[in-house]
Amino acid sequence: MSFVAGGRRVVVTGLGAVTALGADVPSYWRRLVAGESGIGPISLFDASGLTARIAGEVDDFDPSVALDRKEVRRNDRATQMALVSCREAMDDAGLPERLDGELAEMTGVLMASGLGGTNTLIDQIATCRIEGPGRVSPFFIPMAIANMPAGVTGIRFGALGPNYSTTSACASSGHALGESYEIIRRGDANVMLAGGCEAPVADATVAGFARMKALSTRNDEPEAASRPFDADRDGFVVAEGAGTLILEELEHARRRGARIYAEVCGYGATADGYHITTPSPGGIGAVRAARRALHKAGLEPKDIDLVSAHATSTGEGDPTELTGINTLVGEHAGAVSVTATKSSIGHTLGAAGAVAAVATVKALDDGVVPPTLNLHQPDEAAGELDLTPLTARERELDVALVNAFGFGGQNSAVVLQRWNG
């Protein structure tokens, strides 16, 4: 049992996910553990003119499971994915479809997004310039702004507690999970819908990342393109998706007889203060975030069994993270498993931390570490760390660290512990 200094204990009671491996948690987890890839040629727009023409798309995504036809038209694809993942998480947690009374007042939402309504923004700017301002949709601004996934989620489910979005690029939903944990600890909510969403598979977004030389151009081998920690990596693969975790104050969960998956034990947030896109040397900013999270949890680096790595498959980011993990765990490295879920689903940007956290909770619950795909030549920075190459590993897991880092040098670290009752 973890010790949480100066606050109430926070547990995970529900999970929801929309990923390139499936639009629900069972599909996502089953295919992730099986070592399947959800990456393929871009179909959402004509990518023939781009150097990077692959992505992690959610095939046959059906927003009608959470929205009616009018709501679908009035919400960006990112918000739609947020609502679908929240609906699944609410059902999984045994919460009512519509909250009321004290439960409503003490339930909040932190739904992160790094970019907001990307598709809406791109489409409506083009409409304004080509067809004129009179053709711009009156729903343009509400559909595009980054706080709307949180706002619409609160409206849809009647959650009246703290409600906002965290935007810190690819650390956004890591921060959403951590800040939700803090909100519950200090007593401002008993339940939080915490997570992130992103729908960045759009021409201008992909073109922008491609111009930065950040994306893989392994277009003829999409399933082999995302290869975190592999010496032959050539960039990340952009992806869409959403992840939601129901965080709940422990005694509140017990009173209503909720199933408890895991405990959120600690959270750390730091800045590199170094560069807009390059991580600080040695990953020291990420190390400081992890140390803060472990301190809040009353745990030591040697207690870590699993690291869910940020691991995007970039030249500088991957070895820097490995160096940081080794610095953190020291001589304990040989006992630490590392997994990189982006090898299977691509990089969901602002949703990445939450999507990874869903998989991490499942890993703790099932005692299985998902594989890191396409890892044939491990980066030498790995040292003695077990990067879980190619196939899943069954092992006893108790404590896990979830990393999420963003452009601008923004770092989040969340510590999760298996629930032992």
What is the CATH architecture of 266-418? Answer: 3-Layer(aba) Sandwich (3.40)
Q: Would the CATH topology of 10-255 be identical to that of 266-418?
A: yes
Catalytic residue selected from 175, 252, 310, 376: 310
One-letter identity of residue 36: E
How do the domains of the chain map onto residue ranges? 10-255, 266-418
| pLDDT-above-90 percentage for the chain | 98
The structure tokens listed for 92 are 């999984």
Q: What is the pTM of this model?
A: 0.96
pLDDT bin (cut points 50, 70, 90) of residue 168 is very high
Q: pLDDT tens digit string along 339-387?
A: 999 999 999 999 999 999 999 999 999 999 999 999 999 999 999 999 9
DSSP 54: E
CA dist., res. 139 & res. 154, Å (int): 18
pLDDT for 6 equals 52
pLDDT for 369 equals 98
Would the pLDDT of 3 be above 80? no
- 275 is a catalytic site residue: no
**CATH code for residues 10-255:** 3.40.47.10
| pLDDT-above-70 percentage for the chain | 99
Average pLDDT over residues 130-152: 97
Catalytic residue selected from 86, 170, 197, 265: 170
- 175 is a catalytic site residue: no
Question: Inter-axis angle of helices 118-131 and 203-211, to 10 degrees?
Answer: 110
Q: pLDDT tens digit string along 404-415?
A: 999 999 999 999
Q: Residue 176 belongs to what H/E stretch?
A: helix 172-185
- 128 is a catalytic site residue: no
pLDDT for 7 equals 76
Q: pLDDT tens digit string along 7-66?
A: 799 999 999 999 999 999 999 999 999 999 999 999 999 999 999 999 999 998 999 999
Nearest Cα neighbor of 58 from 29, 28, 79 is 28
